[in-house]
Chain A
């Protein structure tokens, strides 16, 4: 059947069961948006205030739903505005297909208006990039792009269509093939000749070796990484942890992979890890990391990290094995499959003495005495009043660490945070995407005054689509995390970290047609948050906090994991 090229793009989105896309139109992508107009009943487009917001929204949508996110942008600045969002998705292995358009073929490479080599720019921050110069390849490229984004270790993919490829008079042969039946399509077949199109099947010998190692171990410990979340292996992981009866440390990306309130949880690990997690890393005799790449924020000093223990890495991506920390054993495969196979083979273990040694250490450190509002009070109010399954999107910095320390995440996709790339301004975009994908859930966005100022223009999107997202600003008037480092490491030379400037976030919220609340103590926090839950529209809670509040505990970068700078 002959159809318009742009129609093929839309049909290919429908093949993948895409019903929501995020984006921002422009000159070169006009043809695609013109087609979208015809498809507006089937594909819901969310217009953000800025392409970066759209990228984060598509990412947040993907993380919270487990589906592939889709984001549109035009050429040149539209495309480059996506890059921070693409890199954020790449670092946290979030499956998003970014679709941009470029100038027409005759103008390509001539520094034309709004021209940029986005496939070149995006190469190091995507799993694959495609420059489409021939309309007949559209279905092939679209199908392969979605397969690449979602298969194995997920991640972003970018497709750049030349404008002439999308011209309304261009027609191509097209046949609708649902995504789960497209193995016979040429591009998927081509991909299948070189790459496995499913997660690698774990080696049973490797599984048996680990079962044996577990039997030998007296002080086992688990790390729940982002792979458990992306692989939706939380049930299998919980069974595994309970069978092993071992303490479980949860990385920032692993939030939601194991219940935060479980009796085996020791909390975060690494730079702001709990005493329990970090001491356990240092004293265990077997450390099993599932879907964790031992980043420099977890294994602060790779040379001494758990060097007394046998380290076992379970990861879907073989290039992660031995990358940051040398392991004693590894299993390549999806977290779900590997844990299933392990659970079948494991008896019930019990390690009471080891647990009794580690678990009492997890008690959170006592916050400073203060008459003023503290971050802990803010978080406690949210935790008490918000439904337990609320989705939390964070930005980056002190509030991010506090949020992850204090909230308990129970399922994958409940915590949306930029753990790998550490993108300030990620939260509001991600919250928009999450709310679009999960309209029945309460979405809370925690942010700092520095982060919020970076992308607060997305409040326009929140207002327009009537999204009842509750933004809680941890407003301490400074760039808290950087200031904390300056305080501890740079001898209190607070270079450019004081944010003594506008806007008034309450008035800002009101200017966008949303509700704003000023919060200076616990009572106000309770009132404001209960009202926000009932408001039915986006709300901004401007919580004024002390600027010297710090994230505890803390271990300096590169230091030994139990060498606490702050307890």
Chain B
């Protein structure tokens, strides 16, 4: 029987462990651009292991596309592990800095209140502006951004989504997709 692939396009999160060598980020990113896939967000940062970087990519794709990309990613020489993380079993967070216009006292009070409701922090204050830092999932950030829009947002700086699995499992245990492609290590 042909395997059924979910053809609905949704946001998938890929966690990729790579050796930290020059050009590795572009090597990984070009796999996505080659097929015309648009990366929603990409984050790269060091890990607990020296010389090893974790890249987290979020993209809009269907199941077949994402398993293709994961399989191709595994063939890259600097790639150590690839894991597709789904929303149910992983924690996904992003961090945003939002600079809001708040020239008068009322506006300033309201923005501070709003920030408190969202458990965001005021990170910087000037005579005319407040800068809010918010840490949370995509929806939370979007909700706060929508509320602050009334006051006039001057600038936003965001990280992409970071993700890690819930519970005991880690990217190190089993870097293969379950069942279908479980043939041991990456191959060349």
A residues whose Cβ falls under 8 Å from a Cβ of B: 119-120, 123-124, 127-129, 131, 144, 148, 151-153, 191, 193-197, 199-201, 203, 311, 316-319, 321-323, 326-328, 332
Chain A residues within an 8 Å CB radius of B186: 194-196
Taken residue by residue from 166 to 188, chain B's Cβ proximity to chain A (1 for < 8 Å, 0 otherwise) reads as 00000000000000010111111
**Residues of chain B lying within 8 A (CB to CB) of residue A327:** 2
Partner of B75, one of A123, A129, A197, A319: A319
A195 adjacent to B68 (CB under 8 Å): no
Instruction: Tell me the nearest residue of chain A to B69, going by C-beta.
Output: A319
Tell me whether A318 and B71 are in contact (CB under 8 A): yes
Given contacts A194-B79, A319-B75, A328-B1, contact A120 B26 (CB under 8 A): yes
Chain A residue nearest to B76 (CB atoms) is A128
Query: Given the complex of chains A and B, what is the CA–CA distance between A321 and B181 in angstroms?
Result: 9
The distance from the CB of B62 to the nearest CB of chain A, in whole angstroms, is: 12
Q: How far is the CA of A8 from the CA of B186 in the complex (A)?
A: 30
CB–CB A323/B68 < 8 A: yes
- Shortest Cβ distance from B17 into A: residue: A194
Q: How far is the CA of A120 from the CA of B27 in the complex (A)?
A: 9
Chain B window 77-92, contacts with chain A (Cβ cutoff 8 Å), 1 for yes, 0 for no: 1011100000000000
Q: Smallest distance from the beta carbon of B120 to chain A beta carbons, Å? A: 40
Quick check: is B22 within 8 A (CB to CB) of the other chain?
Answer: yes
The reply to whether B187 and A196 form a contact with Cβ atoms under 8 Å apart is yes
Complex contacts, B76 vs chain A, CB 8 Å:
128
Complex A-B, nearest 4 residue pairs according to Cβ-Cβ distance, in ascending order: A319-B71, A152-B188, A196-B185, A151-B188
Instruction: Give the CA-CA distance A194 to B52 in the complex, in Å.
Output: 12
List 11 A-B pairs, Cβ < 8 Å.
Answer: A119-B23, A123-B30, A194-B19, A194-B79, A196-B187, A196-B188, A200-B183, A318-B71, A319-B74, A322-B5, A327-B2
Whole-angstrom CA separation of A167 from B142 in the bound complex: 57
Query: What residues make up the interface of B, taking CB atoms closer than 8 Å to A?
Result: 1-3, 5, 19, 22-23, 26-27, 30, 34, 64, 67-68, 71-72, 74-77, 79-81, 181, 183-188
Please indicate the chain B residues that have their CB under 8 angstroms from the CB of A193 in the complex: 80
Are A332 and B183 interface neighbours, CB within 8 A?
Answer: yes
Interface centre among A191, A193, A316, A318 (most CB of B within 10 A): A318
CB distance from A337 to the nearest CB of B (A): 13
Interface of B: prevailing SS:
mixed
CA distance A199 to B74 in the complex (A): 15
**CA–CA, A155 to B172, complex, Å?**
29
Q: How far is the CA of A311 from the CA of B27 in the complex (A)?
A: 33
Chain B positions within 8 Å of A322 at CB level: 3, 5, 64, 67-68
B175: nearest residue on chain A (CB-CB)? Answer: A194
B184 near A196: Cβ-Cβ < 8 Å: yes
Contacts A195-B188, A199-B187 supplied; 17 other A-B pairs, CB < 8 Å: A131-B22, A144-B77, A191-B77, A193-B80, A195-B186, A196-B185, A196-B187, A197-B188, A200-B183, A317-B187, A319-B68, A319-B72, A322-B3, A322-B67, A322-B68, A326-B5, A328-B1
* CB-defined contacts of A201 to chain B, threshold 8 Å: 184
Take A193-B80, A200-B183, A319-B75 as given contacts and tell me if A153 and B188 are in contact as well, using a CB distance cutoff of 8 Å: yes
Give min CB distance, B48 to chain A, whole Å. Answer: 17
Interface centre among A128, A195, A197, A327 (most CB of B within 10 A): A195
Residue of B nearest to A328 (CB): B2
Q: Closest CB of chain B to A109's CB: distance in Å?
A: 12
Contacts of A195 in B (CB 8 A): 77, 185-188
Inter-chain CA distance A254–B2, complex, in Å, is 25
Assembly CA distance A318 to B1 (angstroms): 18
Given A195-B188, A196-B185 in contact, is the A124-B1 Cβ separation under 8 Å?
A: no
The answer to whether A124 and B30 touch (CB under 8 A), given A119-B23, A316-B187, A322-B3, is yes
**Once the chains bind, are A326 and B187 in contact (CB under 8 Å)?**
no
In the assembled complex, the Cα of A11 lies from the Cα of B166 at a distance in Å of 51
Q: Which residues on the B side are within 8 Å of A124 (C-beta)? A: 30, 34
Contacting pair A148 B77 (CB below 8 A): yes
Measured CA separation A355–B2 after assembly (Å): 27
Chain A residues in 8 Å Cβ range of B75: 127, 317, 319
Q: List the A residue with the shortest CB-CB distance to B67.
A: A322
Contact of A194 among B2, B5, B72, B80 (CB under 8 A): B80
Across the interface, name the chain A residue whose C-beta is closest to B75.
A319
Given contacts A318-B181, A326-B3, contact A200 B187 (CB under 8 A): yes
Set of chain B residues within 8 Å of A131, measured between Cβ atoms: 22-23
CB distance from B68 to the nearest CB of A (A): 6
Interfacial chain A residues near B68, Cβ < 8 Å: 319, 322-323
